[in-house]
Amino acid sequence: MANPATDLPWTLMKHLSKQQPKWRGWRGLLPDWILGMPFRNPFGSQRWARRTVNRTVNREPPVSEAAQSSSPPAAQPYQWSRFDWFCLWYPPGWLILFNRHWQHYHADPDGWNGLEYGLFLIPGGFYLALLLRWLRLGGRAPRSVAPVVDLDYQQAFRREVLRPIVHHYFRAELQRVDLLPATGGLIVVLNHAGMCFPWDIISLGVLLSEQRNWLPLPVSHSLFFDHPWLRWWLPAGWAESLGGVRAERPAVETAVAALRSVSAAASPEPVLLYAPEGWRGLAKGWRQRHRLQVFDANVIRFSHRYQVPILPVVCLGNEFLHPWTWNVRRLARWFGMPLFPVSGLLLLFLLFPSMGVWANRTRLRYVLQPVQQPWQQLPSQPDRATLYATAQQLRQQLQQQLDQLIDSKATQPPQAAQPSPPQ
């Protein structure tokens, strides 16, 4: 009998991350007596901390992959402090919150520290914090680690960080819960928008896990695994530990095949969160915010091949996660990113780069649709044109539902998701 806590993550592991070559820069810029000075850590659990950095590569102590990415959970769960609530309502503080929670459960010697967190909060302070961290690491980038899917940390992060954000900040709600299947092992499809961190997908995963004992596996662009900027913003192995699946055909097909093989008695049951628009939906800009882009035919191909049901979901409100924005493709190509959003918030982002994981406050509404089983309507071996046409029919159905929600300005009385008790 398959166990999603072991079989599924290890099946996906080879697709979750690609090792990056270590970048070696200038070392030994400061003497040991400066690098070893004690500093006050006003944001951590200890009043004083002392960290030293070796000046040369040969003297750097080896850091095991297990120590960085799969340390056992702390004895005490993460408790929100007044500073954490301040970070929730102060946009540059979201990156602090993510990293502090990670460091509560994992050893992260290459991560940010308390002094650098404090610099996040002032205009331009992120650049000084980045310089201090680079010097503290001896003039190198943070180490890469092997991909490890951490089921315990997924549940802790969802319960202790994502739930307060989803319910208090985004005020997300799940509607038509009666259409929610009793068992998992399915593909959850939704429309994608916002031109920012994929909070519409993350919030849906939180709401579904509260209604059912499910393990959400979001399909994410390789940007969240490989981009050098993300290696500085977020801890090494962060996306992999949270169960992220690369938005690449081999990785998605492996994940869908694993859903088919998982037993119905498994706990928790995995579900795949998939936006068939991909980056086309995220980068469509403000003018096309309510126009669904072309759906990837793989969502129908894999559902048909492995007989995995599809649960369509219409999301309303994600267009306001980063409103009045357009995509500058030339700058996106120059920075090696799938999109480069430009809006009135660009100046704030330049002053506070830690706002990269932040999004504008909005009300996210998710309206469930009836479950679909494409293998019952399609021939046993459909051609590419048939799969593409079926995917676009699914897009048209979601587009019609979205237009009706926008035109009516109101739906049936909302059925807010009731949080399940902490496990």
Angle, CA of 13, 15 and 16, to the nearest 5°: 65
**pLDDT of the residue at 7:** 47
Decide: 201 and 217 in contact? Cβ < 8 Å.
no
Query: For the residues 154-171, what does the mean pLDDT come to?
Result: 94
Residue 288, C-beta contacts closer than 8 angstroms, at least 6 positions apart: none
Residue with more model confidence, 383 or 418: 383
Residue 305, C-beta contacts closer than 8 angstroms, at least 6 positions apart: 256
Tell me the two tokens of residue 66. Answer: 């297990």
Q: Is the pLDDT of residue 81 over 70?
A: yes
**pLDDT of the residue at 335:** 77
Query: Which amino acid is located at 347 in the chain?
Result: L
Angle, CA of 143, 149 and 153, to the nearest 5°: 95
Query: Residue 202 — pLDDT band, cuts 50, 70, 90?
Result: very high
Query: Residue 416 — pLDDT band, cuts 50, 70, 90?
Result: very low
Decide: 270 and 262 in contact? Cβ < 8 Å.
yes
**pLDDT of the residue at 236:** 84
Query: Which amino acid is located at 302 in the chain?
Result: F
Residue 340, C-beta contacts closer than 8 angstroms, at least 6 positions apart: 327, 328, 329, 331, 332
**pLDDT of the residue at 16:** 41
Q: Round the average pLDDT of the chain to a whole number and report it.
A: 80
The Cα 304–Cα 49 span in angstroms is: 56
Write out the E strands in 209-322: 214-220, 245-246, 269-274, 310-316
**pLDDT of the residue at 24:** 38
Please name the helix (run of DSSP H) or strand (run of DSSP E) that holds residue 327, with its range, or none: strand 326-327
**pLDDT of the residue at 263:** 61
The Cα 280–Cα 252 span in angstroms is: 18
User: pLDDT for 9-43, tens place per residue?
Assistant: 444 444 443 433 443 343 344 333 333 333 333 33
Q: Is the pLDDT of residue 45 over 60?
A: no
User: pLDDT for 233-275, tens place per residue?
Assistant: 998 888 888 888 988 899 999 999 998 877 656 678 999 999 9
pTM (2 d.p.): 0.78
